[in-house]
Amino acid sequence: MVNFENVSYAVIGAGNGGLAMAGYLALRGYSVNLYNRSREKLESLISYPVITLSGSVEGKGVLNLVTSDIGEAIQNTDIIMVTVPATGHYRLAKAMAPYLKDGQIIVLNPGRTGGALEVYETIRKSGCDKDIVVAEAQTFIYACRATGPNSARIFSVKNEVALAAIPATSTRRVIRLLSGAYPQFTPARDVIETSLNNFGAIFHPAPTLLNSGHIERGQAFEYYLEGITPSIGQMLERLDAERMKVARALGVKAVSALEWLEESYGAKGDSIYEAIQNNPAYKGLTAPKGLDTRYIYEDVPCSLVPIASIAEHLGIETPAIDTIIRLANMITGRNFREEGRTVDKLGLKGLSVVEIHQLAQTGEVKKTAVHEQEVVA
């Protein structure tokens, strides 16, 4: 039986988070395979499979394998740590499905809103009948940036990150296996809880869109400390209040963004703006270099749209969230409501609150005769 001391990992994605995570796991002595869809991005690591870390974690991690072949990457690994943007989860699930083996665990870092539900459903629909677990982290464990093709800087490591699995009965086993590398992971009730406590939805799209002029001019500034002003902070509080209202309607333990900043970073304040200004972990984190950023193209369709869709399903109004989605649509020329995760795409359409949690707990929903009569009516 696998234990946390001899777990082998595949890290999927060689971006900011992927390089940091792969380097850290290898530095800790784990066997790590690193995958990226584009081989070109991996050339330097293929030639020299070592990642140098700086910042909160320093050292060199030697990788076991670097590849652009997904089957090769996940072969003979226990845990598959997915770090690609949430917009790639569906494609990745379809690509992995033919190669998955019984007992493997997929962890989305993070899942954003509905990530584990989407990946689990996609794998099953792709014909994979293996005994696998799909888990999602509430947020990414590091604040980090790639500093080169073979290096990354970890600015800070979060004190605590909630995690849940499908089926939820596997959550504690997943956390136990991850604990040797990441003792910060704590169990959530289910993936509905991790999805609705998605703080990327609050901290990414709105500040980016409301600072779009500065970003397009190429003006360098610190994303959190300078980009989130008192007025933008007020907008974030409105977004957060709507997210929490949806979470409460689903019976989810809702953590406010203000509480999360204190729990994750020890940053305190009477408002989101004040807490961010009191967070030294955000110092040095610069704004995106352009508007073609995951803060819009990932977090709007995969964070805000599913929250808005679930809210509509529950009869809850979300004017602040709707405003940011419309603003993103107008600025980009895209229709993120059509592209994004909806209750239909997540397999939640027509489900009651009880049935939504049943799906998250067990991976399936058992329809009752009463429910079927209600749906027909």
Each residue's pLDDT tens digit, 235-260: 999 999 999 999 999 999 889 999 99
Determine which of 63-72, 119-128, 179-188 has the lowest per-residue pLDDT on average.
119-128
Q: Which residue has the tokens 């609050």?
A: 202
8 pLDDT tier (thresholds 50, 70, 90): very high
CA distance 356 to 360: 6
CA distance 333 to 21: 34
368 pLDDT tier (thresholds 50, 70, 90): low
Share of the chain above pLDDT 90, in %: 88
Overall average pLDDT of the 70-76 stretch: 97
pLDDT (0 to 100) of residue 110: 93
Overall average pLDDT of the 133-148 stretch: 94
Q: Tokens standing for 102?
A: 């019984």
pTM of the model: 0.85
- Which of 71, 92, 128 has its CA nearest to residue 13? 92
Strands across the sheet containing 79-82: 65-67, 31-35, 8-12, 79-82, 105-108, 133-137, 161-166, 185-187
pLDDT single digits (tens) 341-362:
999 889 899 999 999 999 999 9
Q: Tokens standing for 170?
A: 């596997």
89 is catalytic: no
pLDDT (0 to 100) of residue 2: 66
Overall average pLDDT of the 44-49 stretch: 98
Helix H or strand E segment including 244 = helix 230-249
| pLDDT beyond 60 at 99 | yes
pLDDT single digits (tens) 262-321:
988 899 999 999 999 999 989 988 999 999 999 999 999 999 999 999 999 999 999 999
By the 8 A CB rule, do 114 and 201 touch?
no
Q: Which residues of 194-228 are buried (b: 16+ CB within 10 A; e: fewer)?
A: bbbbbbbbbbbbbbbbbbeeebeeeeeeebbebbb
364 pLDDT tier (thresholds 50, 70, 90): confident
By the 8 A CB rule, do 130 and 101 touch?
yes
Q: Which of 204, 240, 313, 357 is catalytic?
A: 204
Q: Which residues partner with 32 through β-bridges?
A: 9
Q: Which of 78, 190, 240, 299 is catalytic?
A: 299
367 pLDDT tier (thresholds 50, 70, 90): low
Q: Tokens standing for 130?
A: 């293996």
pLDDT (0 to 100) of residue 252: 92
Query: How, if at all, do strands 142-148 and 31-35 pair?
Result: unpaired
